Amino acid sequence: MNPIALASGVLPEFGPLDLVRAAEGAGFDAVGLWIEPDAWSAATTRAVRSALADTGLPVIDVEVAWLQPGSDPAAHRRIIDIGADLGAQNLLCVSSVPDPGATAAWLADLCAHAEGSGLRVALEYGIFTEVKTLDMALAVLDRVDHPLKALLLDPIHVDRAGTPVERIAALDPGLLPYAQFCDAPAARPDPANFAAVITDAIDLREQCGAGALPLADLYRALPTGIPLSIELRSKALREGYSDPLERARAVAGATRRWLAGQG
């Protein structure tokens, strides 16, 4: 069965130590961490490293390097540095920069900074960003001449962008160190309605098998055994499970049951 990681978006109102403890208690194989570089201190790193050592959990990714006009590249490099201190495997990036060449140059800079850190620099596409489609993401990555570049797929964004599953199956597996995973309703938001797109992404995701995405087809299109970060941002889960461990257990249980049915 694929290794599964507790994505930070499952517990957005909790801190990194809560995420690590919930991931371990719920039986996840890894954890993802949200890094606010201005608020993250050396003491935070020490505490999280200790918790990771106690649980034995790897960090599948740190997020988010959101490339935006006027944002400070040094803050994104600091996320890499923090991730490296924690043994993270990937940096999650999205881009709101309209110029694909500028996005590619920024990603190349992050890849260069990540050399020797153990992190890949993974670009996620979605209609909420300026890299809206698989073709746009691949065009950007084609401009990045660095072995640490990567592509991150999320089922809800794959669906909302209209990406055919056949295109996923044809991807170079070397570009896919991991993938996100979730289910979602069939109804797609209006791409021109940014608020509706964001609500769809952060409130309306569903447990694997509970939604209407062609999840089994997408799963089969991914490289065999790829680690899956369970990115289940859900208002229903937040309201139904106020305790982080109970919420993590609900997500882990539903995910493993769904995966077991795919064999």
Q: How confident is the model at residue 263 (pLDDT cuts 50, 70, 90)?
A: confident
- Report the domain count for the chain: 1
Predicted local distance difference test score (pLDDT) of residue 250: 98
| Residue numbers of the domain that contains 192 | 4-260
What string of DSSP letters covers 6-17?
Answer: E-GGGSTTS-HH
CATH number at residue 31: 3.20.20.150
Predicted local distance difference test score (pLDDT) of residue 73: 94
Tens digit of each residue's pLDDT (9 = 90 or more) over 140-190: 999 999 999 999 999 999 999 999 999 999 999 999 999 999 999 999 999
Tens digit of each residue's pLDDT (9 = 90 or more) over 189-208: 999 999 999 999 999 999 99
Predicted local distance difference test score (pLDDT) of residue 171: 98
Residue 93's beta-bridge partner residues? 65, 123
Tens digit of each residue's pLDDT (9 = 90 or more) over 24-54: 999 999 999 999 999 999 999 999 999 999 9
